Structure formats: structure tokens, C-alpha cells
């Protein structure tokens, strides 16, 4: 049996894991709740999730793919929940609102382009556009690399989301190989590489969040 014989299995597994990845943000929210604050946490994965969800939903509508539409509506909804939760716990609400406004402005700009673009060319060009945005979103935590190296601390990185992202990218890469879809292969090779780089930071600079929580409890 060749890889093609496992197409449906791999595709289904990848879809299920993608849904599970969306729930991985709950683990980040749990950590924020336990610490009582979102201070030191990067909101970009959550805020960017809303923007990316909107862009992916447009792509799903262009493809008229019911499954993709459902997944992205769900993803957009849960991302909104994450941002609201983050807003409630962050001490720097003004900065979060500023970040959210920036992401929404960029997203609206892209949606305006979609409205003005030639319908015959839109699907392909929109696919390229969201690929670039996806790479930026996946690699966003690396923008904090200088701070991570300086403090030797990875608390700012959303480990559950990165770990799940690695698993999902691996599965979609395999699916792309089965389909011999070079566009999908390229997306997931780059995405997987970015995720692995981020995971390696947890090995080099372990998180100190649990230690800090234990120390604070002892003081109390």
C-alpha cells in the first residue's frame, strides 16, 4: 500500500488535530487564570487568530468548501473568546486594544483588496496572501527572541499552541505529499520549521512560570 491509500485517514486526522489546536489556547488561558494576570504573555497569537480566521473564512467561501467554512467560523469564534479573556486579565489593556486595532485595520485592508480584485484571479492570489500572513502569525513569537535570550525565559511563548501547531503542520505536510500539492508542501515545510525553532527555545530556556507560582504560594 502506498501513501495515497491513507489519504482519507491522514486528511481526517489533520482536520481533527486542527480543531484540537484551536482549543490549545485554553491551556494558555488556564495558566493566565492560575497566575491571575496575563502580564508577560504575548497577545499576538490570540489577536492574530481573529485576523487570520477572517482571512481564512474568506478563502473557504471562495472555494465554497463547507468543511473549511465550518472550521474557520469555529476558529474565529474561539479566537474572539481568547482575546476577551486576555483583555480581562492583562494589566496593559491599552496596548492590547492598540494591537487589536492594528490587526483589524490590516485585515480590513486585505478584505477591501478581495472586494476590488478580479474574481478570476482572486482565489490564487488570496491563497498566496494568506500564506504570507500565516507565516507571520506562526513566526510572531520569534519577534520576542531578543527578550527571551536576554531573560533566558520562555514564559512569553504559548507552548501548548506551538506544540499543537507542530503536530498539525506535520500532518498537513504529509497530506500535501500524498496529494502532491507543492503549494501545501511549501506552506507546511516553512510552518513546521518555524514551529521547531520555537520548540527548541523551550529546551534551551525552560519556562519559569511554575517556579514563580510555587514561590508566590510559599510567601502567602
Q: 2-17, pLDDT tens digit by residue?
A: 677 777 788 788 878 8
Measured CA to CA, the distance from residue 209 to residue 201 in angstroms comes to 15
Listed range (1-10, 18-27, 118-127, 167-176) with the worst mean pLDDT = 1-10
Q: 166-206, pLDDT tens digit by residue?
A: 998 898 888 888 878 777 788 889 889 989 998 998 888 87
Whole-model pTM over 0.75: no
Listed range (1-5, 28-32, 38-42, 69-73) with the worst mean pLDDT = 1-5
User: Percentage of the chain with pLDDT > 90?
Assistant: 22
DSSP letters for the chain: --GGGGHHHHHHHHHHHHHHHHHTHHHHHHHHHHHT--TT---HHHHHHHHHHHHHHHHHHHHT-HHHHHHHHHHHHHHHHHHHHHHHH-S-HHHHHHHHHHHHHHHHHHHHHHHHS-HHHHHHHHHHHHHHHHHHHHHGGGGGHHHHHHHT--TTS-HHHHHHHHHHHHHHHHHHHHHT-HHHHHHHHHHHHHHHHHHHHHHHS---HHHHHHHHHHH-
User: Percentage of the chain with pLDDT > 70?
Assistant: 92
Q: 135-177, pLDDT tens digit by residue?
A: 887 887 777 788 888 888 887 788 888 888 899 889 888 888 8
Whole-number pLDDT of residue 65: 67
Whole-number pLDDT of residue 139: 80
Is pLDDT at 211 greater than 80 in this prediction? no
Q: 47-66, pLDDT tens digit by residue?
A: 988 988 898 888 878 877 67
Whole-number pLDDT of residue 218: 52
Whole-number pLDDT of residue 117: 85
The x, y and z cell numbers of residue 16, run together, are 481533527
Q: How confident is the model at residue 36 (pLDDT cuts 50, 70, 90)?
A: very high
Amino acid at each position: 500500500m502506498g501513501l495515497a491509500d491513507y489519504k482519507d485517514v491522514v486528511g481526517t486526522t489533520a482536520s481533527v488535530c486542527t480543531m484540537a489546536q484551536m482549543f490549545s489556547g485554553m491551556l494558555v488561558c488556564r495558566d493566565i487564570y492560575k497566575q491571575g494576570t496575563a502580564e508577560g504573555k504575548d497577545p499576538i497569537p490570540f489577536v492574530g487568530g481573529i485576523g487570520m480566521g477572517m482571512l481564512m473564512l474568506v478563502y473557504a467561501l471562495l472555494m465554497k468548501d463547507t468543511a473549511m467554512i465550518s472550521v474557520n467560523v469555529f476558529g474565529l469564534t474561539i479566537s474572539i473568546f481568547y482575546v476577551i479573556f486576555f483583555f480581562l486579565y492583562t494589566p496593559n489593556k491599552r496596548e492590547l486594544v492598540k494591537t487589536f486595532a492594528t490587526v483589524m485595520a490590516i485585515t480590513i485592508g486585505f478584505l477591501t483588496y478581495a472586494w476590488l480584485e478580479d474574481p478570476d484571479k482572486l482565489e490564487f492570489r488570496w491563497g498566496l496572501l494568506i500564506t504570507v500572513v500565516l507565516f507571520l502569525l506562526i513566526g510572531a513569537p520569534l519577534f520576542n527572541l531578543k527578550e527571551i535570550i536576554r531573560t533566558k525565559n520562555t514564559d512569553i511563548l504559548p507552548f501548548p499552541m506551538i506544540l499543537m501547531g507542530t503536530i498539525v503542520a506535520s500532518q498537513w505536510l504529509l497530506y500535501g505529499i500524498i496529494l502532491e500539492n507543492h503549494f501545501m508542501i511549501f506552506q507546511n515545510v516553512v510552518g513546521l520549521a518555524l514551529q521547531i525553532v520555537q520548540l527548541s527555545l523551550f529546551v534551551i530556556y525552560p519556562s519559569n512560570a511554575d517556579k514563580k507560582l510555587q514561590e508566590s504560594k510559599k510567601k502567602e
